[in-house]
């Protein structure tokens, strides 16, 4: 005789094949810390055959500045509340915002599919963590409470989950201009209000004649300066490189935290993780080349580095004492 003692396990075993696909899920189950996020909640069925007439979702801590998308034929209501941890966004401190969204009064038949959408901004959420969105689906008869959060047991009604990853440097973004090859162009996210940022890249001269990275510019900052940071007599010092960075034939030069770097002076907006900004680099011989920089979370190290290497210096420390020119 076969007896199932655990109710949750029983529910799991009795679910029809493919039922997992019918859960309320997010179209994009992964997002980058610090980036904006568009949530698309997908409703694949009603409650035990009954049509869906309402949907409400709770916004977890970490997603701020949430705005729901209205749906034709549905009434939209929101509840605001305080964030446990205030978030600074565009230089403004956000202490509260939308914590719950409800769409009511519409109808989605059990045989139909629909989507409920809202947008928001992820704060500095730890990479590797998961945000859970409890969803209550109300139907003409009954309701489905998609509120279960993993606890090692089989789940019948899991909450919609969003996995948070750290921003990654895009290796595909290698850019070449003649013999010059640029890889891993990235910048570090800046706290709101900071007017200085650090940017980094790897540049290789694959040619047979020497060249030189002379200067650069970007629309997001007043100045794009090439700097060198070095340890002299136990003191970290930084100086602008008036002659740029020399590139011998075959040489690869890596700009990274704690060493050679680009300093963005006079930032016109904070650098937000997950975003990309354009720049133009000028080489003595190769000419000018457009290079997109990918913004990484605050605290990101050089790609591939295990947090070690040179001591890192927070650029905000330069603010009071800019490099002498």
The Cα 213–Cα 235 span in angstroms is 27
| Phi/psi-derived region of residue 316, left when phi > 0, alpha when psi is between -120 and 50, beta in every other case | alpha
Q: Which of 182, 263, 289, 302 is close enough to bind Cu ion by CB under 5 A?
A: 263
Neighbouring CB atoms inside 10 A of 288's CB total 14
Closest approach of Cu ion to the CB of residue 220, in Å: 16
Residue placing its CB nearer to Cu ion in the complex, 227 or 256: 227
Closest approach of Cu ion to the CB of residue 324, in Å: 12
Q: State which of positions 228-247 bind Cu ion (CB under 5 A).
A: 238
Closest approach of Cu ion to the CB of residue 200, in Å: 11
User: What's the half-sphere exposure (Cβ side, CA atoms, 13 Å) at 69?
Assistant: 12
Residue placing its CB nearer to Cu ion in the complex, 99 or 227: 227
| Phi/psi-derived region of residue 95, left when phi > 0, alpha when psi is between -120 and 50, beta in every other case | alpha
Closest approach of Cu ion to the CB of residue 191, in Å: 16
Cβ atoms of 175 and 291 closer than 8 Å: yes
Report how far apart, in Å, the C-alpha atoms of 164 and of each of 62, 274, 297 are: 10, 12, 12
The interface region with Cu ion, picked from 11-19, 261-269, 280-288, 292-300 by CB under 5 A, is 261-269
Cβ atoms of 258 and 309 closer than 8 Å: yes
45 lies in the site for Cu ion, by CB under 5 A: no
| Count of positions on this chain that bind Cu ion (CB under 5 A) | 3
Residue placing its CB nearer to Cu ion in the complex, 99 or 188: 188
Closest approach of Cu ion to the CB of residue 311, in Å: 14
Residue placing its CB nearer to Cu ion in the complex, 238 or 255: 238
Torsion angle of alpha carbons 13, 18, 24, 26, nearest 10°? 130
Closest approach of Cu ion to the CB of residue 300, in Å: 16
The interface region with Cu ion, picked from 23-31, 54-62, 104-112, 263-271 by CB under 5 A, is 263-271
Neighbouring CB atoms inside 10 A of 297's CB total 20
227 lies in the site for Cu ion, by CB under 5 A: yes
What does the binding site for Cu ion look like in residue numbers (CB under 5 A)? Answer: 227, 238, 263
């Amino acid at each position: 005789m076969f007896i199932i003692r655990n109710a949750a396990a029983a529910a799991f075993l009795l679910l029809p094949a493919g039922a997992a696909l019918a859960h309320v899920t997010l179209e994009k189950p992964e997002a980058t810390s610090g980036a904006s996020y568009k949530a698309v909640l997908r409703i694949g069925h009603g409650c035990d055959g009954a049509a869906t007439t309402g949907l409400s979702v709770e916004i977890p801590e970490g997603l701020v500045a949430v705005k729901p998308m209205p749906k034709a034929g549905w009434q939209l209501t929101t509840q605001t509340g305080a964030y446990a941890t205030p978030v600074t966004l565009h230089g403004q401190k956000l202490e509260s915002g939308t914590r719950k969204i409800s769409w009511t009064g519409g109808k989605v038949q059990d045989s139909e599919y629909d989507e409920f959408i809202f947008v928001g901004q992820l704060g500095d959420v730890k990479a590797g963590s998961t945000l859970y969105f409890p969803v209550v689906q109300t139907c003409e008869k009954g309701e489905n409470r998609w509120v279960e959060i993993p606890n090692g047991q089989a789940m019948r009604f899991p909450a919609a989950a969003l996995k948070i990853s750290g921003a990654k440097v895009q290796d595909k973004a290698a850019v070449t201009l003649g013999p010059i090859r640029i890889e891993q162009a990235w910048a570090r996210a800046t706290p709101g209000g900071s007017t200085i940022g650090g940017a980094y890249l790897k540049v290789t001269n694959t040619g047979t004649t020497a060249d030189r990275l002379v200067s650069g510019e970007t629309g997001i900052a007043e100045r794009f300066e090439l700097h060198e940071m070095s340890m002299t007599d136990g003191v970290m010092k930084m100086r602008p490189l008036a002659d740029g960075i020399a590139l011998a034939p075959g040489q690869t030069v890596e700009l990274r935290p704690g060493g050679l770097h680009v300093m963005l002076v006079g930032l016109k907006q904070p650098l937000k993780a997950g975003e990309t900004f354009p720049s133009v680099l000028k080489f003595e011989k190769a000419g000018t080349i457009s290079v997109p920089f990918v913004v990484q979370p605050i605290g990101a190290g050089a790609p591939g580095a295990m947090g070690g290497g040179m001591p890192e210096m927070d650029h905000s420390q330069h603010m009071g004492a800019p490099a002498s020119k």
